[in-house]
A and B are shown apart, each in its own frame.
Chain A
């Protein structure tokens, strides 16, 4: 089975532009989470989506938005790019529903989209 796939793998943008990153979860996984990893730091949680609904949001400005489609794939959009948005953007998918405490979901991560803002 294919793992979590992300596109594009690398991209370069200039300040003020907008970017859309895409993620396809593992087949059967209904939840997608997005993380930002700045060089030399641990990943920071941005969003979690389950069944097309936002289930969690990290401490990121409104320039960051996301959505999940009926096939459970997801897009992360960042508007008005800043130099500080340069990072590796990781998508992760998981199987369980998120309802109740029934087990912590094990997130399976993709290889990421590396965004450079000039």
Chain B
């Protein structure tokens, strides 16, 4: 069975601070995919990144960066110089890499990020 744990329920920072959201996962699969989604108050989940289990290269996209460490089963997300617009709930998710399972994501509980001006 797959499991995703986001131990940080809520994080509060002041604008321009850096913040890291933790994600730890469990899976028996050797091939899998990891995701981060953002859920603003409107409720719609917004895709941020997908990472293949084969690729442990870290990725940076603007103020966002992701650290994937297979050895510790972690896929952490860092926002540099946070802004008020970053305030949202962030979800880490995992999917199997099988043909019949690609539409099924296992989500963590989410981390509520509040960025204060």
Instruction: Give the nearest-CB partner of B100 in chain A.
Output: A55
**A107 near B47 (CB under 8 angstroms)?**
yes
Q: Count contacts on B: residues with CB < 8 A to the other chain.
A: 30
Interface string of B58-101 (1 = CB under 8 A from A): 00000000000000000000000000000000010101011111
Q: If A108-B47, A111-B44 touch, does A56 touch B97 (CB 8 Å cutoff)?
A: no
**Which residue on A lies nearest to B91, using beta carbons?**
A42
Does the CB pair B99–A56 fall under 8 Å?
A: no
| Given known contacts A41-B109, A104-B52, A31 and B47 CB-to-CB distance under 8 angstroms | no
What A residues does B44 contact at CB under 8 A? 109-112
Give the residues in chain B near A104, CB-CB below 8 Å: 33, 35, 50, 52, 95, 97, 102
CB pair A43 B97 closer than 8 Å? no
Specify which chain A residues have a CB less than 8 angstroms from the CB of B107 in the assembled complex. 42-44
What residues of B have a CB within 8 angstroms of the CB of A94 in the complex? 102-103
A98 and B91 within 8 A (CB)? no
Q: In this assembly, does B105 line the interface, its C-beta being within 8 Å of a C-beta of chain A?
A: yes
Q: Tell me if B117 counts as interface (CB < 8 A to partner A).
A: no
Q: A42-B109, A101-B31 are in contact. Are A33 and B103 (CB under 8 A)?
A: yes
Rounded to whole angstroms, the CA-CA distance of A41 and B106 in the bound complex is 12
Q: Quick one: CB contact mask for B7-36 with A, threshold 8 Å, 1 for yes?
A: 000000000000000000000000101010
B43 touches A88 (CB 8 A): yes
| A66, chain B: closest CB distance, angstroms | 12
B97 touches A101 (CB 8 A): yes
Please report the C-alpha to C-alpha distance between residue A112 and residue B33 in the assembled complex, in whole angstroms.
24
A-B contact pairs, 14 of them (CB 8 A): A32-B103, A42-B107, A43-B45, A50-B103, A56-B103, A94-B102, A98-B100, A101-B31, A101-B98, A107-B47, A109-B44, A111-B42, A112-B44, A114-B43
